[in-house]
Structure 1
């Protein structure tokens, strides 16, 4: 029987659960004559175990764990057992993560920054002399397959990769759209829209992509079915998707930058740039700030929470044709190309030009790779430059181009798109006759985080990563658009302590944060305090007595005089409550150092009213102010005598 099972490659129980099994009673079973005559029983058992191990997995709680790192802090002084175990578990996880980071740092240092690049034996040899055919012959078989040539009708074409670099979407100007897995050749969708299409981008993954068509922007699924028609995005020319904020941004011929929330379908922001049509846009992957290149040579930086550009620089003497942010240095460097034929590398910390050189053929496209390799397409040639030469200036010749790494001529003009494939040494070039894929050794990032972007992701892993959207709940991994800033704290950092405080005296409260101070104190700290904003009840009398002293006198006073004082005080408070709010608001708005006759007249009027109230209070107390030098009037005869 065992021989038949082994020949059929069937799965049989590892442990015999029969009642007469002697192994359960602790006895060693006696091998039968059939088992002695057939030595294939042990082989069948091993084959069975192997077949089970392929399709099964132990739970995480039962999997063997590596020993924890040494020097982990214990929390034995905590009496609560649940809290003690939780703190120990977190301490162990932190130690393991630190050990993994140290291993990754050692691996990176051992590999070096120039790992994977072409090396020459002498100074006479140049890497740019190598052609793609020579590179393909020297690399492996799998890498050689990545060098391809796509001849398509309907160009010029633009391309876009997913975040993990597995899928590729292309769009032609005449309406040819396709999305496919370029490694396996599996086609997801292919459309013939028969209208002008300007750009394409993937959304959160390859299952959805957006196309900038002639009049509006449209969203399609992986089968090519139209899902949404975005009527707010009129005549879009460029599209960008912010993966951590789930925002689809577009800019086009109307000059309006619009942000669309793809999780809720709402239009988050719409900014009027005021600089005409724009056909160049990119994003900083570290800050999610959009960089726009305009026709007048300006480069502007935009965020959804500001209706004006955060930064505006004059980059070129003509229109900006290409713009890209270096992802290898945290977005510190920016490359621009213009119609004037210049390529400039900017330091975004001080906005200074660190490198500048001229190219042939006028304006072109620029693109940075994950390892800092800069690709420039101008005329009919694509040139690549390695760091740190493209970041460091040459004092003797500031307009000298950096050393050339690789070059590849393409006869099909114009060159309209440059895209580096993530985690691969591949550069995709879009031109009028289709697409060209060339190999640029050392341009791709070899390390990847499987929780962010996994090049080997399958359907089950993608389903685990996806977040189902519910109408009653927001996306848990979606970051609010208000947190996008050019310069500011990173999301998740602690709130800095307040800078402005008001110290208390002896016996008073200690320093109080500026935001919690009363309004009058905040005005005093900011230097914007004005006497016109004082209330009548808080103004001290000219004789040196404050409102609290007046109240004490009212409590001590008796008779008609005290009642008159109290009545006049209450009437004055009720009368002044809420009065002249519009005037005070007007004065607050006109606090500038400007001589305004209307403001001066209002201040004089308020001063006159304040003086009249003071005199009324003194008259009620039975006192006469020595400063009262009012001339007698003809109307005094009509005044009633005081009782």
Structure 2
């Protein structure tokens, strides 16, 4: 009976029965999908050919359940790409830039001239806070660009909703304040004070004192990993998990004090600028740099990385501003600044802001071609620039200087259309709470921080037979090198300062003949001077 059933099943597959053929292939028929315009822009690479056999491909996927699972995942990804392509018609906002007519130049336009031509909503975003007693100031925006945090070197700390003008809190910590940064949202912030790093809530209440972070100069928060990275005068890079309160990693850079740090938004790798002109890239799981680049002949003053993770801008005390392609670690453009740039920032649309002396220069298309004239220029008269930071989803640049903080308009800097699931500038309290819970559930582990995050989750398509073949070839190559290669004689030091001579002189001075000395003399007599020099297994340690 069993043989008859098997025979019937096979004959049914050969007879052209579609049901039997489906059972034989173990594959459901896929519906024909219509092509959506701009669908390729949202796809995540090529689909896996799970129907391929070992003869057609170097790999094959065995098992009906695994094939069905992969097929469903591909369908979901394809549906998401088509939905995103169809939703493009809802993105009505477009980013625009300043355009000059005739012989006019865009870098000659001042902020007071732009305010007269802007609408009331945009004109209200140009303001200046005069705080000459507590500067220089550090500036930081939240990920949705709604809230602003400023910190003065002499202890002034304030946070507010800068678009509505609502103040969250304002306080004076009564000690040196070196850097400030928002954490996962506007409810928590970190301040690097004279000795320790302190955590405050949105009311200005001190929540925690981080005793493991001492004399910190710069801080960066990794939002998808909930990691606070700090570096200071001792030269230690430390990662602290703000969701659990644990110190994840402590790395000694061995390059002295560091006061320049930024993160790569694409892969969450920390970039540090050092006084010897090098830029190092770190992840919390490696205690040595992933990459070490010699960028300047002097100390590195500022580092910035664009959101795609392809380009990096650096400035140094040698007066140079360099643009790098960190995919191949090569320099693209080199510029000279009238004074060493103290701060750099890259907008969501690729504009580069350079703060030097009392000027802020904004460059357009600086990563593509060599620029001869800047896009915009801003003069902060009588006050040196200490920090520049672009506001996300807004054409606004925050400028921290010695006499306070200024907000200027830079047309075309921000992303015109935002994704409310990623960062919502108009989120309610309930939406903020829900997004916080979702981000905690989707938190990435520190060991996921690598140079190329696209390698995570990839399938090694090398077959087991190929791997074994490579191992055999490597082993044979090593054996051939050991057999055929000539052993190079080790250079031994002759004369009064050799180890053997010192040992013999020491024994002669004491006029003592012990068993060790007799064994050494017998070994020398057995080998001889020439044999001892040619035998690689004979060392001075053997004598003792």
Q: Aligned pair 1:489/2:454, yes or no?
A: yes
Compared CA separation, residues 448 and 490, structure 1 to 2 (3 A): farther
Superposition pairs of residues 234-313 of structure 1, within 5 angstroms: 234-313=214-293
Which stretches in structure 1 are left out of the alignment for 5+ residues? 1-68, 73-85, 395-400, 470-474, 504-512, 515-520, 532-593, 603-643
Correspondence for 1:364: 342
Superposition pairs of residues 382-531 of structure 1, within 5 angstroms: 382-387=360-365, 390-394=366-370, 401-467=371-437, 475-491=440-456, 493-498=457-462, 501-502=464-465, 524=472, 526-527=474-475
Of 167, 170, 177 in structure 2, the residue corresponding to residue 187 of structure 1 is: 167
Query: For the Cα contact (< 8 Å) 1:502–1:525, is it kept in 2?
Result: no
Of 179, 186, 190 in structure 2, the residue corresponding to residue 210 of structure 1 is: 190
Report the TM-score, using the length of structure 2 for normalisation.
0.72
Compared CA separation, residues 300 and 95, structure 1 to 2 (3 A): closer
Deviations 1:602-622 (A, max 9, x none): 9xxxxxxxxxxxxxxxxxxxx
Residue 134 of structure 1: how far off its partner (Å) = 1.4
Residue 239 of structure 1: how far off its partner (Å) = 0.4
Query: For the Cα contact (< 8 Å) 2:395–2:414, is it kept in 1?
Result: yes
Report the TM-score, using the length of structure 1 for normalisation.
0.61
Aligned length: 422
Compared CA separation, residues 502 and 200, structure 1 to 2 (3 A): same
CA distance in 2, matches of 1:595, 1:527: 26
Compared CA separation, residues 258 and 336, structure 1 to 2 (3 A): same
Residue 404 of structure 1: how far off its partner (Å) = 1.1
Matched position secondary structure for 2:441: coil
CA distance in 2, matches of 1:443, 1:595: 71
Which stretches in structure 2 are left out of the alignment for 5+ residues? 1-31, 36-68, 480-533
Residue 332 of structure 1: how far off its partner (Å) = 0.7
CA distance in 1, matches of 2:181, 2:536: 56
Query: For the Cα contact (< 8 Å) 2:341–2:354, is it kept in 1?
Result: no
Residue 392 of structure 1: how far off its partner (Å) = 3.3
Higher RCO, Cα 8 Å, sep 6+ = 2
Q: Aligned pair 1:198/2:178, yes or no?
A: yes
Higher strand share: 2
CA distance in 2, matches of 1:426, 1:183: 11
CA distance in 1, matches of 2:143, 2:438: 20
Of 97, 101, 114 in structure 1, the residue corresponding to residue 84 of structure 2 is: 101
Compared CA separation, residues 522 and 352, structure 1 to 2 (3 A): closer
Deviations 1:520-548 (A, max 9, x none): x99746428999xxxxxxxxxxxxxxxxx
Correspondence for 1:230: 210
Compared CA separation, residues 440 and 497, structure 1 to 2 (3 A): same
Superposition pairs of residues 469-618 of structure 1, within 5 angstroms: 475-491=440-456, 493-498=457-462, 501-502=464-465, 524=472, 526-527=474-475, 596-597=536-537
CA distance in 2, matches of 1:351, 1:529: 33
Residue 100 of structure 1: how far off its partner (Å) = 3.5
Matched position secondary structure for 2:149: strand
Residue 598 of structure 1: how far off its partner (Å) = 6.5
Correspondence for 1:634: none
Correspondence for 1:52: none
Correspondence for 2:317: 339
Query: For the Cα contact (< 8 Å) 2:217–2:258, is it kept in 1?
Result: yes
Query: For the Cα contact (< 8 Å) 1:412–1:431, is it kept in 2?
Result: no
Compared CA separation, residues 185 and 292, structure 1 to 2 (3 A): same
Residue 93 of structure 1: how far off its partner (Å) = 6.8
Q: Aligned pair 1:147/2:87, yes or no?
A: no
Residue 366 of structure 1: how far off its partner (Å) = 1.2
CA distance in 1, matches of 2:476, 2:219: 46
Compared CA separation, residues 431 and 236, structure 1 to 2 (3 A): same
CA distance in 2, matches of 1:95, 1:478: 25
Q: Aligned pair 1:156/2:139, yes or no?
A: no
CA distance in 2, matches of 1:190, 1:595: 77
Correspondence for 1:133: 112
CA distance in 2, matches of 1:523, 1:96: 42
Q: CA RMSD in A?
A: 3.1
CA distance in 2, matches of 1:292, 1:266: 23
Correspondence for 1:319: 299
